[in-house]
Amino acid sequence: GGIAAGIAHELRNPFTTVRGFLQLMQENIDKESAELFRTLLIPEIDRANTIISDFLKISRSAHTNREKIEVDLFVNQHLLKILSNESFLYHATINHIISKEASQCIIEINKDEIIQVFINLFRNAVEAIEQKKLRIDWRADRIEDWLAITFKDNGSGIEPAILSEVFDPFFTTKSDGTGLGLSISKTIIDNHGGRMEVASSQLGTVFTIMLPIMNKVDVGRT
């Protein structure tokens, strides 16, 4: 993680310099070249910076700040607010169910990181949808000492031949994708002591996330 952060810093500095120089040059060159800078060169630098940022998320230490929070509180006051904004932007529908057994469970999480997982899954679903309207079915249940969350879309599905590779860093079937979204998501869940799985068919894709539930003894500790 430390090495990755150092490399990222050293790469970002020249990228920032080059990007600023290209922006300045746009004002003093012909229209065709300026358009090339605007539509190709600067966006490619921004894309490289995005890859660096995403890679840092994977290599970051597992010891992030976490808090104990009730599932119902986390979902309704934090997660759904963000997902509702995303669904509004993409004209999608999100149906969510929290079972009675799951709603009162306590989990210890970094809220921002877990929210990022579901943003990544949502945006992945947006890219997988074709002509129909995107629908997400989100459900939380308690299975013994685990919180089981399913995230199902109605997209075109993932080909069986590549299903086992979707969590690999830099693996993507999209021409403009970095291939890091799902890898970052799985890393976050792994770092929380959980696990993440995927199943897919022509009817859509289902991601299952398992997070450990805190027992009453642990909840009472500081």
Q: Using CA atoms, how far apart are residues 9 and 11, in angstroms rounded to an integer?
A: 5
In the predicted model, is pLDDT for residue 168 greater than 80?
Answer: yes
* pLDDT value of residue 156: 82
Cα–Cα distance, 202 to 66 (Å, whole number): 37
Specify the pTM.
Answer: 0.74
What does the radius of gyration of the chain's CA atoms come to, in whole angstroms? Answer: 20
* Largest pairwise CA distance in the chain: 70
* Alpha-carbon gap, residue 157 to 204, rounded angstroms: 5
d(CA 165, CA 155): 18
pLDDT tens for 78-130 read 999 889 988 988 889 999 999 999 999 999 999 988 998 999 999 888 887 87
